[in-house]
Amino acid sequence: MTDLGMVLEVFLFINLLVALLKVTRGPTHADRMLAALLFGTTGVALLLLLAHTEGEPALVDIALALAVLAVIAGAAFAQRAWRGKWEGNEHS
């Protein structure tokens, strides 16, 4: 059973690496940020699985913190970093 957990952990991590491609490629700022938020959700799942396979319930708390704080980064992006009119090219 923990074997399956470990396989799934590697699988989810590879998923993260594929999403990393989107972060580096863009093309728009929103794409990068959304990929980073996807990291949040996948990261939460990964941490929950790790909590199970390593038998450390404290990791659930980390997952909780990650889930909640991802919003702060998302909100900071939407409210502060990404203002002004769309010009079709964001020097990506």
Contact positions with another protein (CB under 8 A) in 14-73: 14-24, 26, 28-50, 52, 54, 56-73
Taking the complex as a whole, the smallest distance from the CB of residue 36 to another protein amounts, in Å, to 5
Q: Which of 16, 46, 19 is nearest to 31 (CA)?
A: 19
Residue type, 6: M
Smallest separation, CB 62 to another protein (Å): 5
| Residue 27: CB minimum distance to another protein, A | 10
Is residue 89 a contact point for another protein (CB under 8 A)?
A: no
Q: How many residues bind another protein (CB under 8 A)?
A: 81
Distance CA 88, CA 11 (A): 35
Torsion, Cα 78 31 45 76, to 10 degrees, reads: -20
